């Protein structure tokens, strides 16, 4: 798999976790764990900063535009030809097999960056 794509998948996972933690705090869920949540957030942000430094700036800009729009899951997997970000079927032969996971491909419907489960 394309190394940048792999990094984007990890970044998307961290951003999704951060968003979930944020929502947890807003809901005031498990208040006694508030400090733990903050510590976890700080830890995730550290990993996130390191990751972002390894991703090309153009790609990072593209990613940031998507995550700004959706908050979570800027990168979605494709299963049986369906984008798991928006659950629309991709046009058949939208992407050649050789390009899957090797090029940065976005969903024609939701614009998320796609990766394929082998």
Contacting residues toward Zn ion, per CB under 5 A: 83, 85-86, 107, 109-110
Closer by beta carbon to Zn ion, 48 or else 66: 66
Q: Please enumerate in sequence order all residues whose Cβ is within 8 A of that of 118, keeping only pairs 6 or more positions apart, or say none.
A: 101
Residues 2 and 9 sit within 8 Å (Cβ to Cβ): no
Shortest CB 4 distance to Zn ion, Å: 20
Shortest CB 111 distance to Zn ion, Å: 7
Closer by beta carbon to Zn ion, 66 or else 85: 85
């Amino acid at each position: 798999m394309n190394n940048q794509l792999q990094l984007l998948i990890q970044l998307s996972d961290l951003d999704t976790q951060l968003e979930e933690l944020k929502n947890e705090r807003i809901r005031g869920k498990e208040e006694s764990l508030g400090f733990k949540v903050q510590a976890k957030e700080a830890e995730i942000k550290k990993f996130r900063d390191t990751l972002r430094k390894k991703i090309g700036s153009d790609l990072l800009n593209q990613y940031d535009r998507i995550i700004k729009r959706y908050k979570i899951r800027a990168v979605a997997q494709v299963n049986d030809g369906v984008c798991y970000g928006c659950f629309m079927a991709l046009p058949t032969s939208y992407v050649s097999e050789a390009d899957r996971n090797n090029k940065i491909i976005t969903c024609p419907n939701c614009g998320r960056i796609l990766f394929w489960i082998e």
